[in-house]
Amino acid sequence: MRNVVLFGPPGAGKGTQSEILLQRYGLIHLSTGDIFRANIKGQTELGQQAKAFMDKGELVPDSLTISMLESEVAKHPQANGFIFDGFPRTSAQADALDAFLQGKGNAITCMLALEVNEDELIKRLLNRASTSGRADDADESIVRNRIAVYNRETAPVADYYRSQNKYRGVQGVGSVEEITTRLCAELDAFIEA
């Protein structure tokens, strides 16, 4: 099984690249943000709980997020592997994911991190608001809070995978195709190793 964590700040292009990689490698794409938004739309209890945090650009609590993620993985018993997009976002989530995969005899193959500077991120997210319809993209103060939360709580997760020698940073500015080529080169090296 190949399990890839696609990492990076809000607006780095994780969703766009995930859609391409899942086809190329035959993986299941699990985006925690997309799953939460589907729950909000479906007015589930999980959706209602998550919405209060998402609207402010804060993280949804670990307990809710981890149990949601585990039940999504369990829906795909035949999967070749997963692309985790937007997860893990805290050290506790990274620990839980490792323990969960280990329990199934699996592991994370690698973390690929898209590197994009802050000015570019803010520009992309405010721009995306017109097509995404996402309230958390439309308001600059919420966008800035999401980036601050990323720097404070999520960026340290990279060290978790660095210490396992599973981390690779990839320049996330350029054309979609250029960035895909960079990601595939890193992923192929892990697969061949």
11 forms part of the interface with ligand ADP (CB under 6 A): yes
Q: Is 87 in the site for ligand ADP (CB under 6 A)?
A: yes
Give the total of residues touching ligand ADP (CB under 6 A). 18
Catalytic site residue 2? Answer: no
Contacts to ligand ADP from residues 145-174, by CB under 6 A: 146
Query: Of the two residues 15 and 81, which places its CB atom closer to ligand ADP in the complex?
Result: 15
57 binds ligand ADP (CB under 6 A): yes
Catalytic site includes residue 89:
yes
Question: Pairing relation of β-strands 2-7 and 110-115?
Answer: parallel
Is-catalytic flag, 146?
yes
Q: Strand locations in the chain, DSSP E?
A: 2-7, 28-31, 81-85, 110-115, 167-171
Binding residue for ligand ADP (CB under 6 A) from 7, 36, 161, 167? 36
User: Distance from first CA to last CA of the chain, Å, rounded?
Assistant: 14
Residues 6+ apart with CB under 8 A from 15: 31, 34, 85
Residues taking part in catalysis: 14, 89, 128, 134, 146
- Binding residues for ligand ADP, rule: CB under 6 A, are 10-11, 32-33, 36, 53-54, 57-60, 65, 86-87, 89, 93, 136, 146
